[in-house]
Amino acid sequence: MEIFFEAKNLNKRFGGLLATNDVSIQLHKREILGVIGPNGAGKSTLFNLLSGAIKPDNGEIFFMGKSVNGLKDFELCKLGIARTFQIVKPFKELTVLENVMAAAYLTSIGKKEAKIYALRTLEAMKLINKKDELAKNLSLPEQKRLELTRALATRPKVLMLDEVLAGLNPSEVKEMIPIISNIVKNYDVSILIIEHVLYALMNLAHRVIVIDQGAVIKEGTPTEVVNDPVVIKIYLGEDFELVKS
């Protein structure tokens, strides 16, 4: 499979804390790659490095075969690397449509094109019926979906999702699974997703990497990962078999 987005030997230290320790990942074209690990394992730091929010102390990041080291987050977004945030921050006093149009302007020529693409994206994300609502009036699940829609409206080639399912109930999670899956099919996008909702990840991800204490300790299919004794011990817990059944 074609390697689309790659990080090699990323290291980031905050004072005496080594937040990422020689982390290397490969994201293939049209793949969904999951990232899991305990709280404080370094997942968010990895996302911040990959999205240009912070710079690595060492290591390299490649997008479509070219180094993107040193580029800022908005520069990476223009190239086609977009992300969501765990804590959603929409423009509360703008409508849902205006929120998505603001993102669509990044790759659109003028207001008309931005509006057309924003409406099309809202339709795909099943938010079109909320287009005229103020963002502050949306429920949490709707705000999560708006966060995803705004990122998608920048027309990314790589979409990084940071716990986009956090705070949703089981029925809301089930509703989101096909929406996320269809992004890959309909938009030709590769997805990197941090997620603690393992049921969703098992149904979404082609591969999963596990991070602990800043380092990748396991990589494989979802089934291989959740059955690994080390992963069970440090992250899933000994009662995980009961959860799976």
- Tell me, what's the pLDDT at 3? 87
CA distances from 71 to 19, 51, 59, 66, 173 (A): 20, 9, 14, 12, 34
User: Does the structure show a pLDDT above 90 at 22?
Assistant: yes
Yes or no: say if 218 and 230 are a contact pair by the CB < 8 Å rule. yes
Q: Residue 167's pLDDT band (boundaries 50, 70, 90)?
A: confident
Whether residue 128 is contained in a domain is answered as no
In percent, how much of the chain has pLDDT > 90?
75
How big, in percent rounded to 5, are the helix, strand and coil portions of the chain?
40, 25, 30
- Tell me, what's the pLDDT at 1? 66
Q: Whole-angstrom Cα distance, residue 54 to residue 73? A: 8
Q: Whole-angstrom Cα distance, residue 237 to residue 140? A: 29
State how far Cα 215 lies from the chain centre: 19
Total domain count, the chain: 1
Whether residue 101 is contained in a domain is answered as no
Whether residue 102 is contained in a domain is answered as no
Name the token pair of 243: 């959860």
Whether residue 195 is contained in a domain is answered as yes
Domain of 225 in residue numbering reads as 3-84+158-244
Q: Residue 242's pLDDT band (boundaries 50, 70, 90)?
A: very low
Q: Whole-angstrom Cα distance, residue 177 to residue 201? A: 9
Residue 130: DSSP 8-state: G
Whether residue 193 is contained in a domain is answered as yes
Whether residue 200 is contained in a domain is answered as yes
Yes or no: say if 117 and 153 are a contact pair by the CB < 8 Å rule. yes
Whether residue 211 is contained in a domain is answered as yes
User: Does the structure show a pLDDT above 70 at 243?
Assistant: no
Query: Quick one: which H or E segment has residue 219?
Result: strand 215-220
Residues in the chain: 245
In percent, how much of the chain has pLDDT > 70?
96
- Tell me, what's the pLDDT at 198? 87
Whether residue 104 is contained in a domain is answered as no
67-73, long-range: CB within 8 Å, 24+ apart, which pairs?
none
The CATH number given to whatever domain includes residue 24 is 3.40.50.300
pTM of the predicted protein model: 0.91
Query: Quick one: which H or E segment has residue 185?
Result: helix 170-187
- Give, in degrees to the nearest 5, the angle at Cα 192 between 143 and 195: 60
133 versus 196: the higher-pLDDT residue is: 133
Name the token pair of 82: 């977009």
pLDDT in tens, 72-88: 999 999 999 999 998 89
